[in-house]
Structure 1
Amino acid sequence: MLLRNVGYIGGGLLLFGGCTPDRKPNGTSKQAASSGIEGGQVVLDPAKFPTAFKESPEFAAQVAAGKLPKVAERIGQDPLVIKPVHEIGKYGGELRRVFSGASDSPNASRFCAGPDNLLYWDYRYEKVQPNIARGFEMSADNKELTLHLRRGMKWSDGHPFTADDIMFWRNDISLNSSLSKGASSLRLRGRDVQVEKVDDFTVVYRSPSPYALLPELLAGSTDLGGPSHSGHRGGGGYAPKHYLSTFHPKYTSEAAANALAREAGMQAWPLFLLNRNSWFLNPDLPMLTPWVVTRPLNNPPWEFAANPYSVWVDSDGNQLPYIPKITMALAKNADVISLRAASGQLDFQDRALPVAELPVLIRNQERGKYTVRRAPGDSMDCAIRINLAYDKDREIGDLLRTVEFRRALALGIDRDQINQTFFLGSSTPSATLPAKSSPYHPGDDWQLRWATHDVAQANQLLDDVGLTKKDAEGYRLRPSGKGRLRLDFQSAVSVLNYPSIGEMIRKHWAQIGIDVTNRSAEGVLLVERTLTNELMMTVHTVTTDDPFTLPDTMMAISTDTYGGLIGIPYAKWFASDGKSGSEPPDSVRALKDAIALYRRGLEVDKAARAELGQQLFKLHTEQVWSIGIAGFGLTINGLYCAKNNLGNVPSKIVNNSALKSPSNVLPMTFYYK
């Protein structure tokens, strides 16, 4: 059943060939402007702010009992005002979701966190707007970004949020080598961006050269993208000084900080401090999110309660969120998730809804009293990430660093079969590229470059690199002749059953004489193996929405995440200006060209970045640094089921990694009708 050529109208789902929104040259969406993209809007004009505030009955009772300050005191002088997408809601209820396991922390940071970026995008993905910060200005030379914070805003424990929390994060976490790599988003041409406090509510970022991209990095899914997103890795852009300083030797002593760590069963203070800064693990962590964790991810069900100090209010002055509680049950099996959604047990679910179950979800809409909506993504749903720096087996590593070998592997894959089997035809077979509508797309001629199924050409390329000898079963021998050449996939089940796709690819590659060991592993284990340079290849997503704000899977730039599989040692070399890590050898010297293009793109405005981005994608595609399979479909948060009695659910949204979708549906405005 080729669903991308089928229209289903009764349940509100339309799946036609054009799944990906058109984007204008500046990166905005024509579909947003003309085809029904909708969302709540941040009210920016203070003259339109509400003059009085209201709160939930639960919080009103606590105020009456003397357990909470009045709502106006909790919110402060500068509320974050949102005009809901459809109507003003009402308080009450419990929202039910599921999560898939220990590696699924983004489930909450993408839904329950606000988001908590200092800046964020508007719902059309056209412009950066104030968020946790109430305003910002960029200097004419693009070297200074000034942030203005919300006066009277408080952490979830009632402590004031000020510029000191940004300075504490920058000086004592981000620039502390025991806790962080220094935030790559605040490093330009090998030099740090200086962060300076002007007063309690004003901070200036001073860049060593023009840095037009910085507001977008603060607004996106980066190491500056809020504590809920990356606080556990030392990122986030700010942190609660009054709380975390308790665990920091600068504010106590190393002996005292280590003693606290050992008491908690951890070896040393850095690990303990990062644990305490993990929103999903530590219910005691003060946050600026609409909901706060009351029961952690590692003790399911994962639970959240409304933040009494939430700065979000609707345009009538009602403190948000409307729904006081969110519960996420653990459901490791995708079939279980689909069954719960189809039976109406989930109020809103997007993450881990498999495309293969779409017919079942559509068929059960009326009985389950929910509606399935689609939000096609802007990125690659599935690709093979290759560790170009792999050296555990040098002979295999040298092959992976040989472009003809990578091209042969790419030509050995039947993308149409994978698309039909795992995506029901809803994705588009492609090399590693952005959507055709992206300003960074290099043109139609590049869509299937080294991305067709051509067994004859693949075999010829493998012969040309010297892999001409085979064993009795037809598998190619190692270049040294010492046994069969065997590659290794290690993949996790996350938003898709990637190990099953790996198994299909294993069968494809058998046709060109390449043997593969295909293994399933937990996501946290894959992160560890990536950071220690042990992982050879994995089947997963490759983020291609924007190579400048989300470069991790596009080039050797990430030194501390699973996304940096392209070559952690090379990324360390680039990040340190050659002081650590490993310099890319001549076989992958084009990685240096990619970094040069990327660094130029950081300094120029969006319009000027388009050509540089196209060059980056051409380079990545020609060199096959990852093997694109299929993209721009419904796999990555592209389906969402919402109960029919849940109000303020947008009918169509932009699905983009920078937006941390579905954050852009603004769940704090959801309510039960």
Structure 2
Amino acid sequence: MVGDRFSVYLKQLVRIVSLRILKSYNLVGLLLMAMFSIGLFAVACGGTETIEVEKIITKEVPVEVEKIVTKEVPVEVEKIVTKEVPVEVEKIVIKEVTTKYTPEEGGEKKSGQAQTGAAAYTRQVLDKSKHPTSYKESPDLAAKVKSGDLPAVADRLPKNPMVLDSSDMDGVGKYGGTWKRAFTGPADEQNIERISKNHMIFWNSLMTELRPHIAEDFESNADATKFTFHLREGMKWSDGEPFTSADVLFWYEHILKDDNVLPAKPAYSKTANGEMGVWEAVDDYTYTVTFSEPYGVYLELVSGLSVAGHLTQFPVCGGGFSPKHYMSQFHAAFVGEEQANKLAKDAGYDNWGTHFCAKNNPVKNVDSPVTTAWMPIKGFNEEESVWERNPYYWAVDTAGNQLPYLDKIVLSLAEDVEVLGLRVVAGEFDIQGRHVKPDKLPLLRENEGKGGYRVQLTSAAGSSAITVYPNQDYGAHGEGDKEIGDLLREADFRRALSVGFDRVQIQEVVFLGMGRPASACAVPDEPYAPGPEYDQMWSTLDVAKGNELLDGLGLEKGSDGFRTTPSGKPLVLDVIAVTGAFTDAVGAAELIKKDWKDNLGINLKITPTERSLRETRLKNNEAMLSIWGGGGASEPLFLFPNHDLAFNWESGMGPASGQWFQDPSVFGPPLSESIAKQQVLWRQGAALPRSERIEIGKEIRKIACEEVHAITTITESPAWIFVIKNYVRNFPTGVPFTTVGQTPGSFYTEAFWFDQ
């Protein structure tokens, strides 16, 4: 007991000292906290709302047509404009109308979720009449053109490159500079994936509108069963080979449909009935995806982490396209199974399918061509990962300068996050947000001048940076103690755990007083927050209630003060807490452990775990409880729901149920009725346009909070703490942190430049 008290007193002392340092920056602190109080997160809205039509503006008619068209329309529809009206409009389905998804930049809606302050960010120029007609390039590439090692810049760019406008900030930049940052090892692939972004279509930085990206244009039919993508004519891979619909169809025919390569099909490739879509090439630069039933969320999924592209591939080999000219040499359909297996065995792989996916991962295989702004030179298996400018990158600024501005990205290994944090404080890195923990904020503020940097905080409304996930699948499939698994499947057991610890301690010690305690239904968090009455549900310290619930389950206390199982065995819970990640999961677990012991008589064992081992244990359904961030945010609910329901292996509340949800041949259906109900609702909502799935989303969130699928702690804390050198230009302000949009990729990093 003395040791426990000394540990808590020591942490409180550290907190007080830290807060005093923060108070020396009182004005900045107040402004930042004010920003957090209103939130900095934007919800994904627009883009796929194509069913309710109030007004159609056609290409040939210069005036607005007020009537609703319900019969075949003989002219091409360029844009559907929806306005709010005070009367109810009857919902109609017009299958002849095609909805375009390229709204005018500047017509973006403000976030429906939270105010974002004075937002300044890089925008796409969608009006092609305002695109530059001549192009320039970096000095190093110009030298290669002169020597004959590269074609001219105009021949390397597509016919219509993406044009980025950063005039909200520092505008047209200058070439040069190496972006120095840190990573924590081979499992930290997201470090470069987030920066690189190679989605077929994407979001604006506010996460309010879908945008073209690799695809120059895209559209859906009115009932959201067929989606058409128009690629950029003349676009090339980083090795100069053409990027065409053949690369998309290669992925479909020889990756998605081949069980040797991708046995578990990614969720986004299937509708609610489990039937996979059909990809077809119309011509070299056009392809379609067709589903047997409406799939209202599909375009939003393609724009985010669920699909992500060739570089990110979440899941591996699931990126939606692949370089056919390069990857064919490893595929049995092209070289024969015998040769493909020989290549695999020579490289140390058991079979050709696994080897193929490894070769298809540019983060590990630097020989793979890419479509990203920087291409790999040294991968993540070394102490330093190097990425250099892609000479064939398909974007320019408003003056016609081919992007990116920065020559290189160099990531240096820092296996110890504490050491990484001290190096950030010392000013060693140009832009670093990932792995900067909140406990470093006082030191960062103190050393801003000396380090030549500024600190910028981002927040994700509703999301909890530290969440405990009781695994309701534990012991259900032969893994682990079934008696403990049965308790984890009891809502009252989870509720007791949730009200049995003091979240304010975590707020003060781990987050230095930032954020606030809340449930997984924190408000404001539109559009899926079920209501203010859910904000604190089962999330306020109530020792008496917790013990009442545990007593009601027949969990008696032994002579040592700890509870036993109904059969009389010692009740010991085990939680895996990832080390070397984003927040102090182990430190938070220590505070929870002490409170559960003192308040409830629950014995908690903490197992510090490396991130890749966490993945293994979740996939094998071996984790009893696990700690991770996320849970409770509206934005990812239909777009990246891993932490909101049992969606896949990463869903801590039901990793086996999540894998079954993706592939019914794996594990089995959930034993938890509430998890099963959420899965059914999610499939129903995914078929609908956003406006029609809001009530379903609220119901999913209600279930999560009433049944305590996730034990959240603190919301409105900094999602990432960005440390930015003073010479960095075109870094946005007033924009949200987003998992779906892969911050900082959502900032359009190719437009960053250094004023040195």
CA root-mean-square deviation: 2.1
Which residue type is aligned with residue 366 of structure 1? G
Determine helix, strand or coil for the equivalent of 2:590.
helix
Distance 1:74 1:338, change over 3 A: same
1:240 and 1:274 mapped to 2: Cα distance?
12
Distance across 2 between alignment mates of 1:12 and 1:244: 53
Q: Which amino acid aligns with 2:540?
A: T
Change in 2 beyond 3 A, CA 1:522/1:579: closer
Q: Structure 2 matches for 1:109-128, cutoff 5 A? A: 109-111=193-195, 113=196, 115-128=197-210
Q: Is 1:641 aligned with 2:723?
A: yes
Kept in 2: contact 1:232–1:277 (CA 8 A): no
Q: What does residue 587 of structure 2 align with? A: 500
Does residue 574 (structure 1) correspond to residue 664 (structure 2)? The answer is no
Moved more, 173-182 or 128-137: 173-182
Give 1:348's match in structure 2, choosing from 420, 431, 441: 431
Q: 2:740 aligns with which of 654, 658, 664?
A: 658
8 Å contact kept, 2:465–2:583: no
Contact 1:40-1:666 at 8 Å conserved across structures: yes
Aligned counterpart for 1:627 among listed residues 711, 717, 724: 711
Distance 1:8 1:324, change over 3 A: farther
1:599 aligned onto 2:692: no
Look up the match of 2:348. 265
Could you tell me which residue of structure 2 aligns to residue 481 of structure 1? 568
State the alpha-carbon separation in 2 of the partners of residues 15 and 34 from structure 1: 13
Partner of 1:557: 647
Q: Deviation at 1:632?
A: 2.6
Cα shift at 1:357: 1.1
Residue 100 in structure 1 maps to residue 207 in structure 2: no
Q: Secondary structure at the match of 2:312?
A: helix
Instruction: Give the aligned residue type for 1:490.
Output: I
In 2, the alpha carbon distance for the partners of 1:101 and 1:243 equals: 27
Q: Contact 2:266–2:318 at 8 Å: present in 1 too? A: yes
Corresponding residue number in structure 2 for 1:547: 637
Count residues with an aligned counterpart. 660
| Counterparts of residues 57-96 of structure 1 (less than 5 Å) | 57-84=139-166, 85-96=169-180
Closer/same/farther in 2, CA of residues 32 and 96 from structure 1, 3 Å limit: farther
Could you tell me how far 1:227 is from its partner in structure 2? Answer: 2.0
Q: Which has the larger radius of gyration?
A: 2
TM-score by length of structure 2 reads 0.84
Deviation string 1:193-242 (CA, Å, 9 cap, x unpaired) is 211111111111112111121110011111x1112222671211111111
Moved more, 170-179 or 305-314: 170-179
Once the two structures are TM-superposed, the CA of residue 465 in structure 1 deviates from its matched residue by: 0.6
Which stretch has the larger CA shift, 139-148 or 545-554? 545-554
Aligned position for 2:577? 491
2:226 to 138, 144, 147: 144
Change (3 A) 1:22 1:267: closer
1:18 aligns with 2:37: yes
Map of 1:520-539 to 2, 5 A cutoff?
Answer: 520-539=608-627
Larger CA deviation: 176-185 vs 62-71: 176-185
CA contact (8 A) 1:653 1:664 kept: no
Amino acid at match of 2:644: M
Deviation at 1:129, TM superposition (A): 0.7
Q: Does the aligned pair in 2 maintain the 1:475–1:510 contact within 8 Å? A: yes
Partner residue, 1:418 = 506
Q: Distance in 2 between matches of 1:589 and 1:541?
A: 24
CA distance in 2, matches of 1:310, 1:445: 50
Corresponding residue SS for 1:18: helix
Equivalent position amino acid for 2:703 in 1 = L
Amino acid at match of 1:14: L
SS in 1 for 2:466: strand
Q: 1:500 to 1:183 in 2, by over 3 A?
A: same
**Structure 1 pair 382–140 and aligned structure 2 pair: CA distance change class (3 A):** same
Contact kept? 2:42, 2:736, Cα under 8 Å? no
Alpha-carbon offset, residue 335 of structure 1: 2.6
Gaps of 5+ in 1: none
1:666/1:12 Cα in 2 relative to 1: closer, same or farther (>3 Å)?
A: farther
Call closer, same or farther: CA 1:10–1:396 in 2, change over 3 Å. Answer: closer
Q: What secondary structure, in the 3-state scheme, does the structure 1 residue paired with 2:342 have?
A: helix
Q: Return the offset for 1:330.
A: 1.1
What does 1:285-296 align with in structure 2 at a 5 Å threshold? 285-296=368-379
- Cα pair 2:43 2:113 within 8 Å, conserved: no
Match of 2:481 in 1: 393
Deviation readout 1:468-514 (Å, 9 max, x if unpaired)? 2x2322011122113x1111111212111212211221111112111
More deviation, 661-670/286-295: 661-670
SS in 2 for 1:520: strand
Corresponding residue SS for 1:542: coil
Distance 1:89 1:446, change over 3 A: same
CA distance in 1, matches of 2:362, 2:510: 33
> Corresponding residue for 2:82?
none
SS in 1 for 2:141: helix
* Distance change (3 Å), C-alpha of 1:94 and 1:138: same
Contact residue 89 and residue 669 of structure 1 kept, 8 A? yes
Q: Alpha-carbon deviations, 1:152-211, whole Å to 9, x = none?
A: 111111111111111111221122223222120121121112111111111111121111
* Shift, 1:57, TM fit: 0.7
Residues 40, 737 of structure 2: 8 Å contact kept: no
Q: Tell me, yes or no, if structure 1 residue 246 matches structure 2 residue 265.
A: no
Residue identity matched to 2:610: E
Match of residue 452 from structure 2: 369
What SS does the aligned partner of 1:302 have?
strand
Question: Alignment partner of 1:148: what SS?
Answer: strand
Which stretch shifts more, 330-339 or 186-195? 330-339
Determine which of 502, 514, 519 is the counterpart of 2:607. Answer: 519
Q: Do the aligned partners of 1:408 and 1:459 also contact (CA within 8 Å) in 2? A: yes
Distance in 2 (CA, whole Å) between partners of 1:144 and 1:31 is 29
Q: CA deviation at 1:448?
A: 1.1
Distance (Å, rounded) in 2 between the aligned partners of 1:521 and 1:33: 37
1:232-278: CA deviation from partner (whole Å, max 9, x where unpaired): 71211111111111111111111111111111122211221111122
- 1:614 Cα deviation after fit: 1.1
